[in-house]
Amino acid sequence: MKLKSLILAAALAATAGGALAGSHGGKVKVGMITTLSGGGAGLGIDVRDGFMLALKMAGADNVEVVIEDDQRKPDIAVQLADRMIQSEKVDVLTGIIWSNLAMAVVPAATAQGKFYLSPNAGPSALAGKGCNPLYFNVAWQNDNLHEAAGAYASQAGFGKTFILAPNYPAGKDALTGFKRFFKGDLAGEIYTKLGQTDYASEIAQIRASGADSVFFFLPGGMGISFLKQYADSGVGLPLVGPAFSFDQGILQAVGAAALGVKNTSQWSKDIDNPANRAFVEAFQAEYGRLPSLYASQGFDTANLLLSAMARADVGDTEAFRAALAAADFDSVRGDFAFASNQHPIQDIYVREVIREGDVFTNRIVGVALEDYSNAYVDQCRM
Amino acid sequence: MSPILLIEQILNGLQFGVMLFLMAAGLTLIFGVMGLINLAHGSLYMIGAFAAAAVAGWSGSFLLALAAALAAAAAAGVLVEILVIRRLYRRDHLDQVLATFALILIFSEGTRWLFGSFPLYLDVPEALSGPVTLPGGIRYPLYRLVIIAIGLAVAAGLFWLIARTRIGIRIRAGENDREMIAALGVDISRLYTLVFALGAALAGLAGALVGALQSVQVGMGEPVLILALVVIVIGGIGSIRGALVGALLVGLTDKLGGFLLPLLFRGFMEPAAATSAGAALASMLIYILMAGVLIFRPTGLFGAGT
């Protein structure tokens, strides 16, 4: 009996010692895996710069960030995540831009007890049945901006919209999201090739379809190509799209072809609150360019992390999770809270592309969805 | 489906085809004359587009931008040929693939280092922008018609160069028997540099012309390179005529397939399923075409030995 309690006591002491050794003294090590080379590097660079700017502005010396480039390849992202978890012993992972990479990394990272804060990718699988207490999305669920575009198209009175997106999962989600909130009829629906650069064929079909408006989701270079060719074709129907084809990084490459186009975004540089004003000013001062929505998402992700660190120790998983879920930080978007599946509840705005001096940028012209979360909240059980 | 839409799609296919021809012509020349697989051909296309965007931004002149694209791509071609490629002619194709793949990475990161990660701006010149109305009431972008005209003019010029000029005779001779023409006193290494520069300049021209329609960004050359490889396999490696026919076939198949297949599928499927199945099959169509050609003509349509 005595021996047994002695062993128990020793075991307890060992666990306590372990807990002590695992305690962080308020320090957090962050592993950032993002895209810094190749075609999509602009997005990763903006997320990284936004994130690091927030740490710098807060003077946070208790956060150590390890940054690695995933080259937009899922296998490399998985290797990096393994290395960061096994040998770098990070507490929190973040940074991934693309949904297919997130699907490869996030479930494994959370299964090993690491927090994951997504600054961009929000695949439906991680919002619904695959939700996890350790996974937080600080940007949006993938469907959100498309749903807002559908809502806006209805508000604007469009009755016959032609919709197109690339033929891959996020493209299908985009058209599904648009249709979820759009009340009019479709003049046509096209899936284009992923990475397609010539849209002459699609534009000819839009012209022949008798549509009164066009919704398109073509991220990155695809959107630049489409917009330039669409403007040159003289079709001239109103365009609606998510912010991805109109972010600060690519508007200059599109030029006047994008002027007047309505796009939906949870952030814009003219959202009027102190946090956003400070962010836009500091970003320009630090990097010499205007911030994009990706930069704003990286910035908010870092501030969310800092707010949780002020409330709890990352070694205490349950307390830290509660601290993250409270979202007690000043988002550059204004009101920000997490839904029960740990994705944002936020306003999604309609922006218009304008010219300010010789720079193309956006300004807010309305609100498409107010305090909206996502369509998958009910499917998440945790 | 109206006939106007069909004609418009045929024009789109032609335009896409002649653009592919500009890429494929250089690739097939280099392979035919030197026996070299040059994966970095897409990088030369990118260099053309970046040079055009930079010069257009600085001077505002599209003609100057085109000239700069030709010069920059040709210069890069000469540099690459002298520094790297020259050491590879006697090595096997695997070594060539490895070295030119390394060149892709070097050019991509070098371009990013010079121009940054964000896409550059290059627009259609004012005088060529907007649509024109063709006979029959077809409204078609003027710039795309100009691309078709330039592509066909370049094709005619290349045929003339190969068939009628002294350089063309040397190029053809070099294809057949390089030892013999070296023995006849032709400076073979200078000929190779020249051919490489010519191929590079054509790629640069394609990059600049298309850059005005698309986004000028790092990595823009590789998707086109893959299509150009398909074109020269279909046309027969080393044949300029094959490159032209192959390019037009691929261009038309791609544009008409992407347009007609979903319509065809809609005859017996639900619209949403037809759209997605049609799009999926359309993206495979040119590879199916290539496989079909290879079954009946293993060396391509105009390849040697047929």
What does the domain layout of chain A look like in residue ranges?
A: 25-140+271-338, 144-265+349-377
Contact at 8 Å (CB) between A300 and A271? no
State how far the Cα of A69 lies from the Cα of A48, in Å rounded to an integer: 11
pLDDT value at position A14? 44
CA distance B276 to B280: 6
- Give Cα A322 distance to the centre of its chain: 21
* Out of A189, A195, A204, closest to residue B272 by CB: A189
| Residue A41 confidence class, pLDDT cut points 50, 70, 90 | confident
- What is the pLDDT tens value at each position of chain B, 306 positions in all? 678 889 989 999 999 999 999 999 999 988 888 888 899 999 999 999 999 999 999 998 999 999 999 999 999 999 999 999 988 888 888 999 999 999 999 999 899 889 887 788 888 888 898 888 888 888 899 999 999 999 999 999 999 998 899 988 888 888 778 788 888 888 888 888 999 999 999 999 999 999 999 889 888 998 899 999 999 999 998 889 999 999 999 999 999 988 888 888 888 888 778 877 888 888 899 999 999 999 999 989 987 754
Name the H helices within B35-177.
Answer: 41-59, 62-83, 93-115, 142-164, 166-176
What is the model's pLDDT at position A304?
97
* CATH, domain A25-140+271-338, list 3.40.50.2300, 2.90.10.10, 3.40.190.10, 3.40.50.920: 3.40.50.2300
| Length in residues, chain B | 306
The single-letter DSSP state of residue B141 is E
At residue B239, the pLDDT reads: 87
Q: Are A207 and B11 in contact (CB under 8 A)?
A: no
Task: Report the pLDDT value the prediction gives residue B138, as an integer from 0 to 100.
Answer: 85
Q: What is the pLDDT of residue A5?
A: 52
- DSSP-derived secondary structure letter, A121: -
Residue of A nearest to B212 (CA): A228
Using a CB-CB cut-off of 8 Å, the residues of chain B touching A45 are 117
Q: pLDDT tens digit string along A64-75?
A: 999 999 988 999
Contact A105, A81 (CB under 8 A): yes
CA distances from A74 to A32, A77, A123, B274, B279 (A): 15, 5, 15, 30, 25
pLDDT beyond 90 at A187: yes
**What is the average pLDDT value for chain A, to the nearest integer?**
90
Cα separation, A332 vs A50, whole angstroms: 11
User: How far is it, in rounded angstroms, from Cα A91 to Cα A97?
Assistant: 19
Using an 8 Å Cβ cutoff, are A100 and A120 in contact? Answer: no
Length of chain A: 382
Give the Cβ contact number of residue B41 at 10 Å: 28
Residue type for B295, please?
I
CATH fold match for the domains A25-140+271-338 and A144-265+349-377: yes
- The 3-state DSSP class for residue B304 equals coil
pLDDT, position A4: 54
B99 with B84: CB under 8 angstroms?
yes
For residues A48-76, give the mean pLDDT: 94
- Cβ distance B275 to A38 less than 8 Å, yes or no, reads no
Query: Per CATH, the architecture of A144-265+349-377 is what?
Result: 3-Layer(aba) Sandwich (3.40)
Report the C-alpha gap between A83 and A170 in whole angstroms: 28
Residue B305 pLDDT: 53
Interface subset of A 227-246, CB within 8 angstroms of B:
228-229, 232-234
| Residues of chain B neighbouring A221 (CB-CB closer than 8 A) | 119, 214-215, 217, 220
pLDDT band at A18 (very low <50, low <70, confident <90, very high): very low
Phi, psi of B166 (to 5 degrees): -65, -40
In chain A, pLDDT over 90 holds for what percent of residues?
74
- Residue B300: φ, ψ to 5°: 90, 170
Does the distance separating the beta carbons of B214 and A207 come in below 8 Å? no
Cross-chain residue pair B118–A253, CB shorter than 8 Å: yes
Average pLDDT on A102-122 reads: 95
Q: Is A117 helix (H, G, I), strand (E, B) or coil?
A: strand
Query: Which chain A residues contact residue B214 at CB under 8 A?
Result: 197-198, 221, 224-225, 228-229
Please compute the mean of the pLDDT values over residues A221-229 and round it to a whole number: 89
* Helix, strand, or coil (residue A119): coil
- Assembly ipTM: 0.83
- Which residues 6+ apart lie within 8 Å of A376 measured at CB? A124, A127, A128, A131, A141, A341, A343
Q: Which pLDDT score, from 0 to 100, does residue B4 have?
A: 85
Q: Which of residues 96-135 of B touch A (CB under 8 A)?
A: 108-109, 112, 117-121, 123-124, 129-131
Between helix B221-235 and helix B240-266 the angle, nearest 10°, is 110
* Token pair listed for B98: 């490895």
Q: A179, A186, A201: which to substitute to probe chain B, counting the most B Cβ within 10 Å? A: A201
Between strands B131-134 and B138-141, the pairing is antiparallel
Which is more confidently placed, A248 or A368?
A368
pLDDT of residue B1: 63
Q: Where are the beta strands (DSSP E) in A152-261?
A: 160-166, 185-192, 213-216, 239-242
Q: Could you give the angle at the alpha carbon of A157 between the alpha carbons of A154 and A161, nearest 5°?
A: 70
Residues of B with Cβ-Cβ distance to A225 under 8 angstroms: 213-215
A23: pLDDT strictly greater than 60 = no
Contact indicator for B286, B254 with CB cutoff of 8 Å? yes
Count each helix (H run) and each strand (E run) in chain A, helices first. Answer: 13, 13
Q: Of B4 and A279, which is predicted with more confidence?
A: A279
Average pLDDT for A199-204: 92
Question: What digits encode the pLDDT tens for the residues A301-320?
Answer: 999 999 999 999 999 999 99
pLDDT tens string A283-304: 999 999 999 999 999 999 999 9
pLDDT value, residue A10: 47
Using alpha carbons, list the distances in angstroms from residue A292 to A140, A362, B114, B125. 15, 10, 22, 29
Can you tell me the distance from the alpha carbon of A41 to that of A48, in angstroms, rounded to the nearest whole number?
11
Beta pairing, strands A115-118 & A160-166: unpaired
Q: Residue B137's pLDDT is what?
A: 82
Sign of CA dihedral A43, A45, A50, A51: positive
